[in-house]
Amino acid sequence: MKNRYSHLRPLMLVALLFSVGAATAQEAPSPLDATTIHGDFQTDVQSYKPDPLIGAPRVPEKILSNTFANLLMSSGRFSAGVRYEAYLAPLQGFDPRYRGQGIAYRFASYSADRLQVTVGNFYEQFGSGLIFRSYEERNLGIDNSLDGLRVRVTPYRGVRLTGLMGRQRFFFEKSPTIVRGFDGEISLNDLVPGFDSVATRVTIGGSFVSKYQADDDPALVVPENVGAAAGRISLTNGGFALNAEYAEKANDPGLSNGYIYRPGRTALVSATWSGRNLGLLVAAKRVDNFDFRVDRNTTGNYGSINFLPALTRQHTYALAATIYPYATQPLGEMAGQAEISYHAPKGGWGGRYGTDITVNFSAVNGIDQRPLNDLQGARQGYSSGFFKTGSVVYFRDLNVELHRRFTPTWKLNAMYVHLTYNKDVVQGLTGFGVIDADIAIVDVLHKFTPKHSLRVEAQTLQTRQDLGSWAMGLLEYTYSPHWFVTVYDQYNYGNYDTAQRIHYLGGQTGYVGGTTRIALGYGRQRAGIVCVGGVCRFVPASNGASVSITSSF
């Protein structure tokens, strides 16, 4: 009760500062003369009508909406801001616990030469995020900002230290768990005298994060403080770069790992080389029991403390991106990825304008696990050699993409993808098995005049399993710089259930002016999966009209 309005205090501070700015602006120059106020706004409104054929349920409210508005103020070394959010009620596919509205984020920050202090909500990432990342991804309904204190110090050139402490946002409340973290990073070239001009650049870093959650388990004695540590190195020389990070986590029994006491380990290594017109990448990752979250009694997307990036290509064409997308399996996976991108220059087979080719391959398996059957004893769960790959295939993706401009007014993008997708493992289901699918995409753009363009996409996904094959067509007409209209149809023509051979027809039109974009849409939306960065959200089928507005200043 006593804390009910405590979250509004920084807001009053912001208001107070704004009024100070107003009062002093007329007089002699003051530090607040350089004050700027800026903001952004986003709203997505969707109407729903029941459509039993595609499985779109009746939505009692008929119209749902998600709205976000940020207001930031910066004045020299000082900045502050608030974000208002309203879910009236949350769009289908977002967690219903978002229902409501209020100030979801507010902060004040001060920067001196070697010091930066932030109080209130903040986002942060240590290294590649293996043990700590707080971030906002609205499209997934993820916002795990911490509410507390963060201090950054630069004691010497090339040395950056960050300490933080806070409680994670949990919808419109806060998680009771306290998260504490420290990160240190050293750029050797900046710190070591004489190393400044060396072509090889080396950065090393280390971090430690711990969470405190009271022991609430009726049967087990669970650790109340759980720590995780990580070390990393980044090495670059000309076009070559090597990045590696290794992390360990103390025993952390929870619902997701079956309350076992086995410590967690994760490693992520990547090497890239790029020269003129050629880029190469190889990367590998091992994850073993690394679900790190604020509440041991939960699973799912909410409450993660860390971020385990998926080592697979992030597809953007609809049939490749939303039917069989991969998401990192935090309990265990071995993953590898390789990519070659080549720009064939003008002339020869590169054609008159050059041709881009990208070949990408990724493979993910489970880790080798030897069950220990010790749930009545030490509860270590299983043993697993660090370099041992399991036999279960989680995911394979081989794709080739080609981009070529034929004339100033004709452009082509073509893509072939072969996917192997363990639907049971990735989506947590049973009975679907491992699905093989081939996808082909042709995307042609024609410019009629410098301002009028038409883009046509033809896609197909071929499989004999699951829902069978799909075809998709899309037309997008743009009139630069303001107008666009697009229509599309996804057709599940290969479904074994002939009643389910459904057309998902839809369209969108809109206006872009400066930083404002307004879009109106209507049509059927297939049930599918939206992913960003290897984190995915299921979106149920829907049928109706939508309005989206984004703006900023």
Cβ of residue 520: shortest distance to another protein, in angstroms? 15
Cβ of residue 381: shortest distance to another protein, in angstroms? 27
Closest to another protein by CB, 29 vs 60, is 29
Phi, psi of 423 (to 5 degrees): -65, -35
Cβ of residue 241: shortest distance to another protein, in angstroms? 6
Closest to another protein by CB, 71 vs 287, is 71
Cβ of residue 480: shortest distance to another protein, in angstroms? 4
Closest to another protein by CB, 141 vs 253, is 141
Asked if 382 contacts 369 with a C-beta cutoff of 8 angstroms, the reply is yes
Cβ of residue 264: shortest distance to another protein, in angstroms? 18
Closest to another protein by CB, 283 vs 541, is 283
Closest to another protein by CB, 443 vs 466, is 443
Cβ of residue 468: shortest distance to another protein, in angstroms? 27
DSSP code string of 203-216: EEEEEEEEEE----
Secondary structure class of 261 (helix, strand, coil): coil
What DSSP state is assigned to residue 321? H
Closest to another protein by CB, 272 vs 297, is 272
Closest to another protein by CB, 345 vs 371, is 345
Would you mind telling me the total number of residues written for the chain in this entry?
A: 553
CA distance between the termini of the chain: 37
Closest to another protein by CB, 116 vs 465, is 116
Look at residues 553, 505, 544 and name the one whose alpha carbon lies nearest to residue 44.
544
Tokens of 512: 């872009």
Closest to another protein by CB, 46 vs 213, is 46
Cβ of residue 23: shortest distance to another protein, in angstroms? 8
State whether the Cα torsion 375-379-381-383 is positive or negative: negative
Closest to another protein by CB, 152 vs 296, is 152
Closest to another protein by CB, 120 vs 253, is 120
Cβ of residue 12: shortest distance to another protein, in angstroms? 8
Cβ of residue 333: shortest distance to another protein, in angstroms? 14
**115: alpha, beta or left? (left if phi > 0; alpha if psi -120 to 50):** beta
What DSSP state is assigned to residue 90? P
CA 305/CA 258 separation, integer angstroms? 19
Closest to another protein by CB, 479 vs 493, is 479
Cβ of residue 74: shortest distance to another protein, in angstroms? 6
Phi, psi of 156 (to 5 degrees): -135, 160
CA 111/CA 196 separation, integer angstroms? 26
Amino acid at 419: L
Cβ of residue 226: shortest distance to another protein, in angstroms? 22
Closest to another protein by CB, 155 vs 275, is 275
**202: alpha, beta or left? (left if phi > 0; alpha if psi -120 to 50):** beta
Asked if 522 contacts 507 with a C-beta cutoff of 8 angstroms, the reply is yes
Look at residues 444, 441, 422 and name the one whose alpha carbon lies nearest to residue 318.
441
State whether the Cα torsion 301-298-421-473 is positive or negative: negative
Asked if 157 contacts 191 with a C-beta cutoff of 8 angstroms, the reply is yes
Asked if 341 contacts 278 with a C-beta cutoff of 8 angstroms, the reply is yes
Cβ of residue 121: shortest distance to another protein, in angstroms? 11
Beta strand pairing call for 503-513 and 264-275: unpaired
Q: How far is CA 122 from CA 4, 87, 104, in A?
A: 20, 22, 11
Closest to another protein by CB, 338 vs 527, is 338
* Cβ within 8 Å of residue 48, ≥6 positions away: 56, 58, 59, 62, 63, 64, 92, 542, 543, 544
Cβ of residue 65: shortest distance to another protein, in angstroms? 16
Look at residues 335, 488, 347 and name the one whose alpha carbon lies nearest to residue 425.
335
Cβ of residue 502: shortest distance to another protein, in angstroms? 27
Residue with tokens 């064939």: 344
CA 60/CA 137 separation, integer angstroms? 27
